[in-house]
Amino acid sequence: MANEFPFEISPMFEGERVRKDDMFVELAGPKSRGFELVKAAGIDEVEDGKFNLIGPDISEMQEGSRYPYAMIYRIAGKLVEPDLEAIVERRNHDFQNYIQGYMHLNQRYDVWVRINKDAIKKGLKSFEQIAKATMMLFKNELPFIEKIEATYITEPDEVEKQRAEAIKIYEARDARTKGLHDEDVDVFYGCTLCQSFAPTNVCVVTPDRISLCGAINWFDGRAAAKVDPEGPQFAIPKGEVIDKVGGEYSGVNEKAVALSGGEYSRIKIHSFFEYPHTSCGCFEVVGFYIPEVDGIGWVDRDFNGTAPNGLAFSTMAGQTGGGKQIIGFLGVGVNYFRSPKFIQADGGWNRVIWMPRNLKEKIKADIPPELADKIPTEEDVTDLKTLRDYLEKKQHPITQRWTKEEAAAEVAPAETAEAAPAWSVPAPAMTMPVGMPMMPMQFGGGEGVKLVFKNAKISIDRIVFKNKEK
Amino acid sequence: MIVKKGSFVIEGLENVQINIGKIGEGREETVEGPTPRPEIISLRNWDYRILDRYAPVYTPTSDLCDYCTYGKCDLTGNKEGACGIDLEGQSARQALMTSIMGSACHTAHGRHLLNYLIKKYGEDHPIDVGPSNLKAPLTETIMGIQPQTIGDFLPVLDYVEEQLTQLIASANTGQEGSARDFESKALHAGMLDLLGMEVADIIQISCLGLPKSDEKTPMAEIGMGILDPKKPVVICVGHNIAAPAYILDYMDRNGQFDKIEIAGLCCTAHDMTRYNKASKIIGSMSKELKYIRSGIPDVLVTDEQCVRADILKEAQKLHIPVIATNEKITYGLPDRSNDSVDAIIDDLVSGKQAGVLLLDFEKVGELVPKLALKIGPIRKAKGITALPDEEEFRKLVAKCTKCLQCTRDCPQSLPIADAMAAAVGGDLAPFEMLHDKCVGCGRCDYSCPVDIPVLNVIEKASQRVIREEKGKVRIGRGQIGDPEIREEGRNLVLGTTPGVLAFVGCGNYPDGTKDVYNVVEEMIQRSYIIISSGCAAMDIGMYKDKEGKTLYERYPGRFIKGNLLNTGSCVSNAHIAATTIKVASIFAGRKTKGNWEEIADYVLNRVGAVGIAWGAYSQKAFAIGTGCNRLGIPVVVGPHGTKYRRAFIGKPYRKGDWNVLDGRDGSVVNVEPAPEHLMITAETKDELMPLLAKLCFRPSDNSLGRAIKLTHYIELSEKYLKKMPDDWHVYVRSEADLPVAKREQLLKLLEEKGWKIDWEKKKITEGPLRKVDVSFQPTNVPRLCKEVKK
């Protein structure tokens, strides 16, 4: 096919690295300064396809030199809004890496770009070529962008000046993201992208809950729904609030029925035990209930050992996945630990009683400080006994539940009641996981038939001794 | 009296004898699923479904049948033979027999290992394959059980052996007559093959400490130039680690790794490095004759599979003693298993015996290093080699009459006479080229009318390149662990991984080993996941980039886009197929136990995995491919693969073949031909590249995935075939399926094809076969559809 650019544009070049010896010029990066920024603007304020360069162009640069580098895009369209800026901006990295001989690393004010000597030989001489290709990709992939213009800067003072502005914008955006909660919006987003592999899974993405693969947040969902409202990511109007704490909404429930083919009728977004969110298979972390201490442990994919309940990640993940609603196990993305509504239906952080050291390290900043040293890792405890002792010694808030429970024990086995609610889904979805409290077995009284064996020969192929629990 | 279900009390027992067969502790073994332990007929409906779409295409090398004494029968022109079979039936019977042979080979390997390992470690030795919930996916899917100990595999192999016997029986004259059912049986044999391989590799991983789903195994050295020929050299040939393990243990105990060089040829080499990383790899079966004739080996140890039939004869000429360690290959050698090691060594060193059969592994372990230390110096002092010296070489190449008989007999039609002529003028470069392209079969030696030992001449001329033949292979990792698959799920779903390509099989390449390296390099850069095993995994590691790094050194070994994995030897192939079962279990929660049809249906419609056996030669490779086909995985073979005489080729022009059901309501949906073929030959590397990309399409692709797959399909076609593929538009369901960098151009091309485009919204309004629907649940199995209440 004809190519208007002097370079190939293909995902094949995504992983391409430009080494120092092959480099024509380095832009921004750790030894210089730079940034990338996307700004929403009014439809009449943007001249589609316009490119403006402040500072020297590629053809004016010396081989082996280094320059500061800023890329500013202004986008406009009926559906364009400031909430989408960050989403669009992040794609600059993807798209620019499609360009052969052009390496783009990091994002925002950390960008680091290198251009290969071969690209220059093949005819790359101006940033305009890069910008035009990038803008073409933006418009192709995100058709809600009706107009786009770009300004690239290589002039040091100008980069500095604009960078200070950009940082203010990033900060404002971050504050908006952090300050935006489920109750502040009218729509959530559903994502069914993974139904190509996990046919019954539906991810509900809310400001306080990222998709469990960790790839789609509320803003991503919003952008994708604008690109194609009938596509795999779509708006879910919240509807009525049914359970504020657990995060149950009539709109979500209606969608759940439709999208799971009737498999599920209720989903509580921030609940572990009651109508939990389904888990596909990509989740980064599995939460698992330990009935012996009435708490929830979390184990991540990278942890190779066994949790205090004697099970490894893979074993528990095997119980969890497949786009099914499973009580007692929950798959989540690491970022969900950062949500202020983190399993709030079940006591939130107060219910967390174990996690591997590396995971704990990763999310340290988000653990409530008063709990930080009360949640043990594989270095502190190895089994249920040492776990219990540890929690007791550190006075983990979970121990308060024990006293309550003991008091109530005579009335009813409390956790059984909570963990096995009245359930309205078909039987296959209701796998009772290992380690869950079982309903007491009915040992029969031998009604009806009585047998007397005389002169019998009994051949048994195999006898199985079952170890009684505890 | 009627005994009802429920519990009852036994009031008394008198004079009762109770026989207990087996006692297991703590677990109940339940057989589950719709088709556990499938019989020949159990999965026939599934086979029919795939055979109807991917109808067998036969390329028989002979149109007569001489199976029985009625014959030989001329089957040309649709004539029936004396027993009533026609050419189609006979061709299908050939496919069945090929598949059975391959399957029997891996299963017998597994049986040998299982009996040996149970004797050594006991039936209760636990299975340990690494961090996975599904530890034996094929066993679960076929047998309906979850094995926990190696003893649990006893009934599994019993089952495979029983089924293979049934299948062989059906090939006798006067048995099966339908081609379609012969093929269904061949598919059954292929499935059994996967199972036999899984058993073999899981038990050796569990008992012998081979890497357990380890993405970071160390590198092993590979190549004809890696050994120090001044030291005594032990070479093990074949596939079965049992005997070589004893040699390695003995050498380890006695600190002999710096005194003796030990390496393997063919898959034994993989498993030796998995067992002890001090071991090395010479290369694939293609290197057997070449390496023996070099005279470098001082002791040859054979076990089973892919061992040349003439090893003893060749070795004898060069005074290399052969130690045969497996009943399957005995070469007429005396069984010395009950004799003392020293007595045997004396007979071998003195040349009284050219080799021995030694089935006592303890003795093998002790004898081989001792023998090497003794005979090595003697052989080296004499400088024994089959290769001509400089003087002889000059005379030999001058003798060539350019009759070209060698080229006609060469399976690769190599221009040998040209190389002879160049060598007369002192130019060895053409011979060096031949060295790589030559598969080492030795047929040319027999064809030369003036008795030039052609292979020896090629090898002599190539000494410079052989000395530099030093690569690296990441040691076989075993299975793909569940956590890696979970992590990769996101890339598969978001379309950033366009597919999984498995490079497997043997070294009968059409144009040298470098093609495999080149194909793999490009496909890794395109973010495909590359999994390899067996000889292909070796050849991938034979070349280096300009910085001197092999592909294994450049790309990590995790199951993630743009990575390069080596699962291990031939039997480790099972793990590649098993990974698709894991995907179905992990992401869709599909029940695996005894549930072959549903899993295969999932794989066929959803998992973009393709097998490539570019140099496949053996019946084993055919069986593996056929087993993958039954699991819904398409396989591409190289041009020599036509000699397997059967392919499964889809016909995109027959629209009705591509109807699938929507699992949500059972409605019929006509889909694009994806995957288009199940077993097909590619004639050249150029043809292979876009074909690989194309065979990764699946009906369930979401738009992100489809766009990426289409990007590579179009790019690879343009790059290697210099044109847009004829059928690219067939795979476009909406504008979102179009490669992002070319969207506008492609929309224009679609408009030229008569599609309607809304240019303002840049949307396709009319043209595609069907719409994208990410929730579409494609299935070929009616019972998997939900009943819709009206």
**Class assignment of domain B219-382?**
alpha beta
On average, the pLDDT of chain B sits at 94
Among A227-236, B419-428, B667-676, name the one with the lowest average pLDDT: A227-236
Q: Hey, which residues 578-597 in chain B have their CB within 8 Å of chain A?
A: 583, 585-590
Decide: A374 and A327 in contact? Cβ < 8 Å: no
How distant is the Cα of A155 from the closest Cα of chain B, in angstroms?
30
**B5 in A contact zone (CB under 8 Å):** no
Measured CA to CA, the distance from residue B261 to residue B278 in angstroms comes to 9
Q: Which residues of chain B lie closer than 8 angstroms to A229, CB-CB?
A: none
Indicate yes or no: CB of B715 within 8 angstroms of CB of A458: no
SS3 A220: helix
- SS3 of A301, please? coil
3-state helix, strand, coil in chain A (%, to 5): 35, 20, 45
Query: Rounded CA gap, A146 and A168, in Å?
Result: 26
Nearest CB among A280, A313, A455 relative to B587 is that of: A280
The beta-carbon neighbor of A452 closest among B12, B483, B527 is B12
Spell out which residues of chain A touch residue B585, defining contact as CB-CB under 8 Å. Answer: 318, 321-322
| pTM for this predicted structure | 0.89
CA angle B74, B78, B79 (to 5 degrees): 45
Q: CA-to-CA distance for B753 and B74, rounded, in angstroms?
A: 49
Answer whether B703 sits within 8 Å of A232, measured CB to CB.
yes
Domain boundaries, chain A: 11-179, 182-419
Q: Which residues of B92-117 are buried (b: 16+ CB within 10 A; e: fewer)?
A: bbbbbbbbbbbbbbbbbbbbbbbebb
Check A282 against B23: CB less than 8 A apart: no
Task: Give the torsion sign (CA, B775, B776, B779, B785).
Answer: positive
Q: Centre a 10 Å sphere on the Cβ of residue A329 and count the other Cβ atoms it contains.
A: 26
Q: Which of residues 504-543 of B touch A (CB under 8 A)?
A: 525-527
Higher-confidence residue of B19 and A22: namely A22
B309/A contact by beta carbon, under 8 A: no
Region(s) of chain B under CATH 1.10.8.190: 44-208
Angle, helices B44-53 vs B619-630, to 10°: value is 100
Q: Which residues of A touch B690 (CB under 8 A)?
A: none
User: Read out DSSP for A237-294?
Assistant: E--SEEETTTTEEHHHHHHHHHHTTTS-S---TT-SSSSPPPB-S--SEEEEEETTTT
Distance, in Å, from the CA atom of A2 to the CA atom of A7, rounded to the nearest integer, reads 11
Q: Name the residue type at position B440.
A: G
| pLDDT 10s digits, B494-548 | 778 999 999 999 999 999 999 999 999 999 999 999 999 999 999 999 999 999 9
Q: Does B196 touch chain A (CB under 8 A)?
A: no
The DSSP bridge partners found for residue B20 are: A460
Q: Do A318 and B590 touch (CB under 8 A)?
A: no
Q: Are strands B609-613 and B635-637 parallel, antiparallel or unpaired?
A: parallel
Query: A301: nearest CA in chain B?
Result: B483
In terms of CA atoms, which chain A residue is nearest residue B744? A140
Tell whether B61 lies on the interface with A, counting CB pairs under 8 A.
Answer: no
Q: Tell me the pLDDT tens digit for each residue of A377-389.
A: 999 999 999 999 9
B-chain CB neighbours of A452 within 8 Å are 10-12
Phi, psi dihedral angles at B621 (to 5 degrees): -65, -35
* A370: number of Cβ within 10 Å: 10
Structure tokens at B86: 């026609």
Digit-coded pLDDT (tens) for B21-66: 665 555 556 888 999 999 999 999 999 999 999 999 999 999 999 9
Domain A182-419: which CATH class? Answer: alpha beta
Q: Which pLDDT band, with edges at 50, 70 and 90, does B102 fall under?
A: very high
CB atoms within 10 A of CB B221: 18
CB neighbourhood size of B547 (10 A)? 8
CB contact under 8 Å between A11 and B708, yes or no, is yes
The correct CATH number of A11-179 out of 3.10.20.30, 3.30.1650.10, 3.20.20.80, 2.40.110.10 is: 3.30.1650.10
- Chain B residues whose CB is inside 8 A of the A12 CB are 525-527, 712, 715
Q: Do A194 and B786 touch (CB under 8 A)?
A: no
Check CB contact under 8 Å for B587 and A448: no
Cβ pair B787, B780 in contact under 8 A:
no
A193·B133 Cβ contact <8 A: no
Q: Which residues in chain A are closer than 8 Å to B606, comparing Cβ atoms?
A: 196-197
| pLDDT at position B737 over 80 | yes
**What is the C-alpha end-to-end distance of chain B, expressed in Å?**
45
Give the DSSP H or E segment for B257.
Answer: none
Looking at beta carbons, which residues of chain B come within 8 Å of A444? 6-7
Ordered DSSP codes for B771-790:
---TT--EES-GGGSPP---
The answer to whether the Cβ–Cβ distance between A199 and B775 falls below 8 Å is yes
Buried b (16+ CB within 10 A) or exposed e, A196-225: bbbbbbbbbbbbbbbbbbbbbbbbbbbbbb
* pLDDT for res A434: 41
CATH number of B44-208: 1.10.8.190
Q: Which residues of A touch B527 (CB under 8 A)?
A: 11-12, 14-15
The token pair at B687 is: 């043809």
Could you tell me if B378 lies within 8 Å of chain A, comparing CB atoms?
no
Tell me which chain B residues have a C-beta less than 8 angstroms from the C-beta of A141. Answer: 740
User: What is B479-766's CATH number?
Assistant: 3.40.50.2030
Q: Which residues in chain A show pLDDT less than 50? A: 1-2, 411-447, 469-470
Residues of A in contact with B608 (CB under 8 A): none
What values do phi and psi take at B427, rounded to 5?
-95, 110
* Contact call for residues B298 and B375 (beta carbons, < 8 A): yes
For residue B761, the model assigns a pLDDT of 82
CA distance B163 to A181: 61
With contacts defined as CB-CB under 8 Å, which chain A residues touch B18? 457-460
Contact A170, A183 (CB under 8 A): no
Mean pLDDT, rounded, for B325-342 = 97
Of B22, B588, B777, the CB nearest to A461: B22
Q: What is the pLDDT of residue A141?
A: 87
Check residue B527 and give left, alpha or beta (phi > 0: left; psi -120 to 50: alpha). left
Chain segment A394-453, per-residue pLDDT in tens: 999 999 988 776 666 554 444 443 433 333 333 333 333 444 433 333 334 444 555 666
Is the per-residue pLDDT at B204 higher than 80?
yes
The pLDDT of residue B2 is 55
Over residues B350-363, the mean pLDDT reads: 97
Q: What does B61-129 look like in DSSP terms, one character per residue?
A: S-SEE-SSTT--EE-GGG---TTS--HHHHHHHHHHHHHHHHHHHHHHHHHHHHHHHHHHH-TTPBP--
Taking the C-alpha atoms of residue A277 and residue A298, their distance in angstroms, rounded to an integer, is 16
Is B31 within 8 Å of chain A by CB? Answer: no
Dist CA A330 CA A334 (whole Å): 12
Higher pLDDT, B4 or B321: B321
Expressed in angstroms, the distance from the first to the final Cα of chain A is 70
Kindly report, as residue ranges, where domains of CATH 3.40.50.2030 are found in chain B.
Answer: 219-382, 479-766
User: Which of B148, B712, B775 best tests the A interface by mutation, with the highest count of A CBs <10 A?
Assistant: B775
- What was the pLDDT predicted at A443? 38
Which three-class secondary structure state does DSSP give residue B392?
helix
- To test the contact with chain A by mutation, choose from B123, B564, B586 the residue with the greatest count of A C-beta atoms within 10 A, namely B586
pLDDT, tens digit (0-9, with 9 covering 90-100), for B239-282: 999 999 999 999 999 999 999 999 999 999 999 999 999 999 99
d(CA B367, CA B361): 10
